[in-house]
Amino acid sequence: MTTMVTTKPSRWKNYSTWANRHRKWLFAAPAMIFVGLLIAVPLGWTLYLSVTDSEGSVRAASNLVGFSNYFEVLTDTERFWPAVMRTFVFTGGALAIELILGMCIALLLWRPFRGEKWVRVAILLPLVATPVAVGMMWRLIFDPNIGFANQVLNWVGIPAQPWLSGQYTALPTLMFVDIWQWTPMVVLMLLAGLTSLSDEPDEAARIDGANSWQRFWFVTLPLLRATVIVTIVLRGIDALKTFDILYATKGKGGGSFHEVETLNIYAFGLSFDYNDYGIASTVLILFFLLIITIMWVLTYRRKANRS
Amino acid sequence: MKRHSVVRVAAIVAATFFAAGTLTACSAGDDGGSKTLRVTLANHVWTDTIKSKLPEFEAATGLTVELSQYGEDQLSDQYNVKLNAGTDEIDVMMYRPLQEGKLFAKNGYLGDLSDDVESNAVWDWSDFQSGPVESTTYDGNVVGVPIITEQEVLYYRKDLLANAGLEVPTTMDELEAAAKAISEQNPGVAGFVARTGKSAAVTQFSSFLYSFGGDFIDENGDSAVNSSEAKEAYAFYGGLIRDYGPENVSTDMSWPEAMAIFTQGQAGLYTEADSLYKNATDPATSKVSDTVGFAPMPAGPGGSVAYNVPSWALGINAESANSAEAWSFIEWATSAELTLVVQQDGVPGARQSVWEDPAGTSTYPADLAAAIATSTKNGVGHDRPLVIKVPEAREIVGDPIVIAITGGDSDAAADAASDAFQDILDEE
């Protein structure tokens, strides 16, 4: 009896001591497990599907086919590789222009001026619009027959353009829409970085007689390096995954010539139009690896530079 | 004390978490076997009419109908996700027999209705046209009840034809001549418009294909999209749009885009499904409502052969726990009385008795009713390749259409399409 009475509280005490010692893990555990499962389970399932010939219904019987899906996808020069190329053209092009434009606007907004608040709000407007609504809006503007864009061209005497409906103009047009919508976010991030910089290095350079371009290129930009890289990583991943405006304007398959079919659109078409779950999962896994690699390279380089 | 309070807080948090979980589980369980019927329908005039009549059904049966409505593509996506997961949250489903019927039936998504359709002599299954019934039957089992049929007709502008001094085209040659005349006489107005999207155009191109004497699949079950008739049809359809179509024509147009061009008065001739005619005759949506006319498909070398297909049907989710109630809904929605009401609202139905009843076509423009009668008489029962992988096949056989529209070598494209299409046929 006496032993039981003494062990019970001590076991409880041991337990609570353990809990208290690890309380940061304990409190975070439910969220971590939840998030972990949310990522791990779908990823595992996709990995499994990518080595099967599952099609029609995921509940239907399917066979393990090893890596033949990967072979099929990686040798597909008709849909897969062009989609990879379009993904990179879209991301690279949009990101580069967004960065340059974003940097220019951020520098303009950096120093306080009259009416600054209003300008900032106006610049952020495209960012808060719903992407699908944005897609529909631009689709109307770029309509080849009744759209506003061709009317404007007409006023200045330039012949009408096919815009979104042209085989070669659709992707650049959508890059423009992406730039219109996401430059504000780049501005916001760069501006946050700029405001956190101290004035001294800039002043020192000014006293040394550096002109404004030199001060930007040799002082401000190197100091802003970390912010720029974070911006590239975040916006780059986001742009790689772009789906909504592409789908809202061109639909499944990215147009009759697959002219805006990026990896995301391709994978969506494979699973929801063709019901070819094996191949779709393979494309998604490859896409996932691609993003991981790019992210790893960017962050690794950043760490290497720092040390 | 401090330590204990940490543990206590953790315990309370955990308890609340689990309690909340149990509560949600309880509330989710309540729905099982209830008198709520979940009906998923597509955006369509048919759906609007049925929706307005729903209170009658609910009053008569005591069921509560929970209606979900989607556009065509979203509906397909919904089914793909939910039926794949084996949901029982859909009881009645509106689906496209020619697009998804084979796939859904093969996957076991559609419940067997063979006994239900024979159970009520008054409702009369034999009244349904045989073509549509064939396409909602899989492996000898009835899996759906056809509700909407479609035929392709020619929409035209009476005023533009009259200005050009032309009669309504009855042959493909006259169609081309009329398109040419209209586009030349009316700057800014296209002579001819039709769907241009690779996949969307296939169904409306099919009547051209048949009228030129071709088909997607030959009698041996092999690809026929590179036959000389098919090549001619591709070149003709694409050429009409390239030469006399709207300027800077998009190659993504489905019916909403093409219909918009016609109803905005920017095109003289338009081939499209008759079930969409309200868009052109309703003054609220159409600027040409008072000058639009309808005619049968112009005749090609193979005659005037349009498709006559069941575009939509109702089925019951095989996993549904309310299949008896679901059937009572289908029986009600497809009754002869309601079919007549729906047809008078402009949606061609699948019941022969309603077509034979003068009231069935009383609300139709006379020329449209005549055009439909022609199409129904010698119509072909499919408007796309009848395979399991319809979406993939449509993109393949639709490619030469787009190539023809953009001025490429459509003959070579038809040869390439035929090889790819044959692969799909061999697989199945």
Look up the CATH number of the domain holding residue B189.
Answer: 3.40.190.10
Look at A256 and B84 and tell me if their CB atoms are within 8 Å: no
Task: Please list every residue in chain B whose beta carbon sits closer than 8 Å to the beta carbon of residue A255.
Answer: 251-252
CA count, 13 A, side-chain hemisphere, A294: 19
pLDDT category of residue A1 using cuts at 50, 70 and 90:
very low
Confidence of residue B38 (pLDDT cuts 50, 70, 90): very high
* B15 part of a folded domain: no
* Token pair belonging to A137: 């809006």
In a shared domain, residues B412 and B264? yes
B422, part of any domain = yes
Same domain as B314, residue B302:
no
- CA distance linking residue B313 with residue B367, whole number of Å: 27
DSSP strand pairing (B267-273 vs B190-193):
parallel
* pLDDT for the residue numbered B5: 57
Residues B226 and B77 in one domain: no
- Are B238 and B194 in contact by the 8 Å Cβ rule? The answer is no
Identity at A94, one-letter amino acid code:
A
Query: Which residues in chain A touch residue B108, judged by CB atoms under 8 angstroms apart?
Result: 57
- The answer to whether residue A94 is domain-embedded is yes
Q: Please report whether residue A59 resides in a domain.
A: no
| B291-334 pLDDT per residue, tens | 999 999 999 999 999 998 999 999 999 999 999 999 999 999 99
Q: CB distance B247–A144 less than 8 Å? A: yes
Nearest to A250 among B4, B252, B261 (CB): B252
d(CA B302, CA B153): 16
Average pLDDT over residues A230-239: 91
Q: Is residue A184 in a domain? A: yes
Question: What are the structure tokens assigned to B181, written together?
Answer: 């005349």
Query: Are residues B6 and A59, on separate chains, in Cβ contact within 8 Å?
Result: no
- Among residues A261, A254, A286, the alpha carbon closest in space to that of A69 is found at A286
Q: Which of these, A106, A105, A73, A90, lies nearest to A194 by C-alpha position?
A: A106
Which residues have a Cβ under 8 Å from the Cβ of B39 and sit 6 or more positions away? Answer: B65, B66, B67, B68, B91, B92, B93, B329
Q: Decide if B93 contacts B316 (C-beta within 8 A).
A: yes
Q: Give the DSSP letter string of B258-292.
A: HHHHHHTT-EEEEEEEGGGHHHHH-TTT-TTTTTE
Q: Is the pLDDT of residue B23 over 70?
A: no
Chain A residues in contact with B241 (beta carbon < 8 A): none
CA–CA gap between residue A232 and residue A298 (Å, rounded):
9
Residue B6 lies in a domain: no
| Model confidence band, residue B17 (pLDDT cutoffs 50, 70, 90) | low
The answer to whether the beta carbons of residues B297 and B154 sit under 8 Å apart is yes
**Same-domain check for residues B117 and B194:** no
A56 CB neighbour count, 10 Å cutoff: 19
What CATH number is associated with residue A191?
A: 1.10.3720.10
**Is B25 part of any domain?**
no
Contact B42, B14 (CB under 8 A): no
Closest approach of chain A CAs to the CA of B78, in angstroms? Answer: 10
Asked if residue B285 and residue B159 are part of one domain, the reply reads: yes
For residue B165, what pLDDT is reported? Answer: 93
CA distance to A91, A106, A213, per residue, from A97 (Å) = 10, 14, 19
Does residue A306 form part of some domain?
A: no
Write out the E strands in B19-144.
Answer: 36-42, 64-70, 92-95, 137-138, 141-142
Q: Which residues of B touch A19 (CB under 8 A)?
A: 6-7, 10
The shortest C-alpha distance from B59 to chain A (Å) reads 38
Tell me, yes or no, if A21 comes closer than 8 A to chain B by beta carbon.
no
B80–A272 C-beta distance less than 8 A: yes
Q: Pick from A25, A49, A145, A246 the residue to mutate for testing the B interface (most B CBs within 10 Å).
A: A145
Distance CA(B182)–CA(B190), nearest Å, equals 7
Give residue for tokens 């990522």: A39
Question: Is B186 found in the same domain as B241?
Answer: yes
| Burial (Cβ within 10 Å: 0-12, 13-18, ≥19) of residue B59 | exposed
Classify residue A108: in a domain, yes or no: yes
If you search the block for the tokens 């896409």, which residue do you land on?
A287
Q: Flag whether pLDDT at B22 surpasses 80.
A: no
Average pLDDT value for residue range A290-305: 80
Please give the backbone phi and psi of residue B142, each rounded to the nearest 5 degrees, phi first: -80, 125
Q: How confident is the model at residue A294 (pLDDT cuts 50, 70, 90)?
A: confident
> In DSSP terms, which residues pair with B66 in a beta bridge?
B38
Query: What's the pLDDT score for residue B32?
Result: 44
CB contact under 8 A, B246 and A59: no
The closest of B114, B138, B111, B135 to B125, measured between CA atoms, is B114
d(CA B347, CA B94): 15
pLDDT of B232 > 50? The answer is yes
Tokens, residue B210: 């048949």
pLDDT above 50: residue B27: no
Instruction: Check residue B7 and give its pLDDT.
Output: 53
* Distance of alpha carbon B311 from alpha carbon B275, whole angstroms: 9
Q: Which of A241-255, B174-188, B219-233 has the lowest mean pLDDT?
A: A241-255
Nearest to A145 among B80, B246, B406 (CB): B246
Question: Using the beta-carbon criterion (under 8 Å), do B7 and A16 form an inter-chain contact?
Answer: yes
Give a yes or no: residue B11 inside a domain: no
DSSP B303: B
Give the pLDDT score at A96.
96
Task: Identify the bridge partners of residue B193 per DSSP, sorted by sequence position.
Answer: B270
pLDDT at B21: 46
Is A27 within 8 Å of B10 when comparing Cβ atoms? yes
Domain boundary among B349, B372, B395: B372
Let me know if residue B408 belongs to a domain.
yes
As a whole number, the mean pLDDT across chain A is 88
- B392–A30: do the CB atoms touch at under 8 Å? no
Contact (CB<8Å) A252/B73? yes
- Taking a contact as any Cβ pair under 8 Å apart, which residues of chain A between 51 and 90 contact chain B? 56-60
Q: What is the mean pLDDT of residues B269-289?
A: 92
* pLDDT tens string B90-111: 999 999 999 999 999 989 999 9
3-state secondary structure chain A: CHHHHHHHHHHHHHHHHHHHHCHHHHHHHHHHHHHHHHHHHHHHHHHHHHCECCCCCCCCCCCECCCHHHHHHHCCCCCHHHHHHHHHHHHHHHHHHHHHHHHHHHHHHHCCCCCHHHHHHHHHHHHHCCHHHHHHHHHHHCCCCCCHHHHHHHHCCCCCCCHHHCCCCHHHHHHHHHHHHHHHHHHHHHHHHHHCCCCHHHHHHHHCCCCHHHHHHHHHHHHHHHHHHHHHHHHHHHHHCCCHHHHHHHCHHHCCCCCCCCHHHHHHHHHHCCCCHHHHHHHHHHHHHHHHHHHHHHHHHHHHHHC
Residues of A in contact with B3 (CB under 8 A): 16-17, 20
> Do B96 and B220 reside in the same domain of the chain?
no
Residues B103/B390, Cβ–Cβ less than 8 Å: yes
A23 closest CB neighbour out of B6, B77, B388: B6
Range of the domain at B112: 36-143+309-372
Q: How far is A57 from chain B (nearest CA, A)?
A: 6
pLDDT at A131: 85
CA distance B339 to chain A (A): 31
Contacts of A273 in chain B (CB under 8 A): 391-392
pLDDT per residue over B331-359, tens digit each? 999 999 999 999 998 889 999 899 888 89
Instruction: Enumerate residues 6+ apart whose C-beta is below 8 A from B344.
Output: B359, B360, B362, B363
User: Looking at beta carbons, which residues of chain B come within 8 Å of A26?
Assistant: 10
For residue range A156-192, what is the model confidence (pLDDT) as tens digits?
988 888 888 888 999 999 999 999 999 999 999 999 9
Instruction: With respect to residue A229, please indicate whether it lies within any of the assigned structural domains.
Output: yes
Domain presence at residue A63: no
Q: Look at A256 and B252 and tell me if their CB atoms are within 8 Å.
A: yes
What pLDDT digit, counting tens, does each position of B359-389 carry? Answer: 988 889 999 998 988 887 778 889 999 898 9
Question: Looking at the structure, do residues B325 and B389 belong to the same domain, yes or no?
Answer: no
The tens digit of pLDDT for each residue in A120-165 reads 888 888 888 888 888 889 988 998 877 899 889 989 988 888 888 8
Q: Which residue of A has its CA nearest to B189?
A: A145
Nearest CB to A59 within list B80, B86, B399: B86
pLDDT at residue A130, rounded to an integer: 87
pLDDT tens-digit profile of A43-96? 999 999 999 998 888 888 888 998 999 999 999 999 999 999 999 999 999 999
Residue B31 domain-assigned (yes or no):
no
Q: Which of A132, A146, A256, A276 best probes binding to B when mutated, by most B CB atoms within 10 angstroms?
A: A256
Last residue of one domain, picked from the residues B348, B372, B396: B372
In a domain? residue B13 = no
Same domain, B364 and B423: no
Kindly list the residues of chain B whose beta carbon comes within 8 Å of any beta carbon in chain A.
3-4, 6-7, 10, 17, 73, 76-77, 80, 83-84, 86, 103, 106-109, 196-199, 246-252, 261, 264, 266, 388-389, 391-392, 395, 398-399, 402, 406
pTM (two decimals): 0.82
Nearest partner of B76 among B55, B96, B58, B61, judged by Cα: B96
Three-state SS at B58: helix
Residue B110, φ and ψ in degrees, nearest 5: -100, 130
Longest Cα pair distance anywhere in chain B, in angstroms? 100
**In the prediction, which pLDDT does B25 show?**
43
ipTM for the predicted complex comes to 0.78
User: How many domains are there within chain B?
Assistant: 2
What percent of chain B shows pLDDT beyond 70?
Answer: 92
Domain of residue A247, residue span: 80-260
Number of structural domains chain A divides into:
1
The enclosing H or E element of B152 equals: strand B145-157
| Residue A107 placed within a domain | yes
Chain B positions in Cβ-Cβ contact with residue A253 (cut-off 8 Å): 198-199, 395
Tell me, yes or no, whether B139 and B188 share the same domain.
no
Q: What does the pLDDT read at residue A86?
A: 95
* Residues B401 and B421 reside in one and the same domain: yes
Regarding whether B164 and B87 lie in a shared domain, the answer is no
